[in-house]
Amino acid sequence: MKNQNLSKLVPACLALLTISLSLLGCKDEGGNAAAPSGPALKLAFVTNNASEFWKIAAAGVHAYEKEAGVKVDILQPPNGKVEEQNQMIENLVSQGYNGIAVSTIAPADQVTAINRAAKKSKFITFDSDAPTSDRLCYIGTDNFKAGQALGQEIVKLMPKGGKIAVFVGTLAADNARQRLEGVIDATKSHNIEVAEKREDQTDRNKARSNVEDVINARPDVTMMVGLWSYNGPAIAKAIGAASGKKGTVMAAVFDEEVDTLAGLEDGTIACTVVQKPYQFGYRAAKMLHELNTKGDSILPADKKDDTGVKVVDKSNVAEFKAELAKMKS
């Protein structure tokens, strides 16, 4: 009789144990609950604003989603404000997201928010890094080298030297600060002076009015430098609208917004240094997925993944536009 009862009890206990384990979840090497895989994973890609530039990165995210069968939510702070981005990060953590990738707006001011999130989720940065935080890896441009590349083009355009004005959303962002440092490093021994630095806090109207103000107040400034993607179109429109300035005031910018490429074609913009935002999206989505399914062993030794840059001018803009259309499709 005892043996008969025991034979009924053992399967029941095993069933209960299985249910308990499934509720508790497996543990990873750190003792944390292991993340689900595939579509069950909750992954997020958070930009630093809502500019046209991020559509290319989104195409990279969607390509990896299709390839790996995962879902990555894309979030964009509508006004490019630190408070908006921090709230998004906090919401994602509270909603149990397994992986979060962020282009930080003001890295020095966001370390606490990032570190708090990194305790609960696999956290990486792209485009704009927060190197003093607990982020696991940075994916994107080496912004100092990118600034040097733009600076070298400026030297070619201003062989006798001169004064330049720099425009950007905020110099508090690492990518902006490092790009400017790279520009200065490449131009410092060529009699080229940064005469103006104007921030617009991602306000598109202010981005253009900043350029107009410099054109009107500083006739000695002959080169306009845009550090963020939307600064290129703002500079092109301001120069184009100013009587007699096209051809006498030059522009050297970053990224590949539609109006920037149009500016290259019509000669309003001399050159642009393009990043590889498609790779930002693709590699960030892949890394978030693999961190949750394979662990931290997939991280590069220096915790950086440099995606590189390319210089585009009137001579190769048509070829570049064809490549861009292919990536977007």
What's the average model confidence in pLDDT over 228-240? 97
Name the band, by pLDDT with cuts 50, 70 and 90, for residue 51.
Answer: confident
From 205, 222, 204, select the one nearest 214 (Cα to Cα).
Answer: 222
User: What structural domains does the chain harbor?
Assistant: 38-141+277-307 (3.40.50.2300), 143-274 (3.40.50.2300)
Predicted confidence at residue 16, as pLDDT, reads 42
Predicted confidence at residue 38, as pLDDT, reads 63
User: What's the chain's length in residues?
Assistant: 329
Predicted confidence at residue 34, as pLDDT, reads 53
Predicted confidence at residue 135, as pLDDT, reads 98
Q: How far separated are the first and last CA of the chain, in Å rounded?
A: 71
pLDDT in tens, 242-277: 999 999 999 999 999 999 999 999 999 999 999 999
Asked whether residue 30 carries a pLDDT value surpassing 50, the answer given is: no
How far is Cα of residue 87 from the mean position of the Cα atoms in its chain? 18
pLDDT in tens, 95-104: 999 999 999 9
pLDDT in tens, 59-94: 999 999 999 999 999 999 999 999 999 999 999 999
Using CB atoms within 10 Å of the CB of residue 160, give its burial: 0 to 12 exposed, 13 to 18 middle, 19+ buried. exposed
